[in-house]
Amino acid sequence: MHADNGAAMRERTFTEVARRDQIVRAAISTLAELGYAETSLGKIARTAGLSSVGMISYYFDSKADLMAEVRTTVLAGAEAEVGPRVRGAPGKLAALRAYIEASLEYIAGHTAEMAALFEISSGRRTRVESTEEDIEAVSVRIVAELVAGAQEELGIPDPLDPRVVARAVRGAIRTATAARVQEEGSAHPVDLSREGPRIADLFERSLRFVPDPGGSR
């Protein structure tokens, strides 16, 4: 076997990097267009303008390997946009808002990547490595930290469970994305560029909310 994507790397030639990138991009398009179940190496090769399927096998150990690379690439791209904005936010609540808004903006501008990511995570079951941690689990942990910080920052007397909120936040982002894809032809499609602030508002309200001391619940 020639290709190798393990931990201890050898150098990659320029051609190799370019080819891999070309293939990964073709895979993203294909996944987004056809879905995981209908995506084959042959179709990816055709999308990439490659004459043979063997070419992919040459650069990637297996289909799973390619899928993993797609995942990594897409996640890295998202992190590159979302991460700095979260880290540059003044305070935890602002960071949470930044996370939500940046996520939805990124999603809005990278439909194919997100669709591909979605297809991979829902279409594949066999984990390549144990290190390939679940996207959602990681995201939830990160968001939960922001939520916990924000509630602390706000000094809420009866805080919500950060992980519950975090899962809701992630769910809201995911559902908004999915809705956008599905309502594409609808009369009132979801406008992702406006969705971010609205979702942020929603969660900010729940975090800011102070239970009425004499309230019913």
CA neighbor of 56 nearest in space, from 25, 32, 12, 34: 25
**Nearest to its own copies of 113, 195 (CB atom):** 195
Kindly state the number of chain residues that form the binding site for DNA, as judged by CB under 7 A: 25
Q: Is 125 in the site for its own copies (CB under 8 A)?
A: yes
| Cα 45 to Cα 51: distance, rounded to the nearest angstrom | 7
Smaller CB separation from DNA, 3 or 202: 3
Residue for token pair 């899962």? 167
Stretch that binds its own copies, among 16-24, 78-86, 101-109, 169-177 (CB under 8 A): 169-177
Helix 63-87 / helix 135-154 crossing angle, nearest 10 deg: 10
The piece of 20-28, 81-89, 106-114, 171-179 that touches its own copies (CB under 8 A) is 171-179
* Beta carbon nearer to its own copies, 75 or 167: 167
Residue among 30, 216, 17, 9 at smallest CA distance from 116: 30
**Residue 18: CB minimum distance to DNA, A:** 8
Cα angle: 124, vertex 126, 128; to 5 degrees: 105
Q: Supply the DSSP symbol for 37.
A: G
Which residues are CB-contacts of 10 (< 8 A; sequence separation ≥ 6)? 4
Q: How far is the CA of 9 from the CAs of 3, 5, 26, 56, in angstroms?
A: 11, 7, 24, 19
Question: 16-45 mask for DNA (x: CB under 7 A)?
Answer: x--x------------------xxxxxx--
Using CB under 8 A as the binding rule, whether residue 193 contacts its own copies is answered as: no
- CA distance between the termini of the chain: 64
d(CA 97, CA 200): 5
Considering only the stretches 58-66, 111-119, 166-174, 205-213, report the one whose residues sit in contact with DNA under the rule CB under 7 A: 58-66
Which of the listed partners (its own copies, DNA, none) does 87 bind, with a CB threshold of 5 to 8 Å by partner kind?
A: none
Site for its own copies in 52-91 (CB under 8 A): none
Which positions lie near its own copies, rule CB under 8 A?
1, 34-38, 42, 46, 118-119, 122-126, 134, 136-137, 140, 160-161, 163-165, 167-168, 170-176, 178-179, 182-183, 190, 195, 198-199, 201-209, 211, 217
Which positions lie near DNA, rule CB under 7 A?
1-2, 13, 15-16, 19, 38-43, 50-58, 61-64
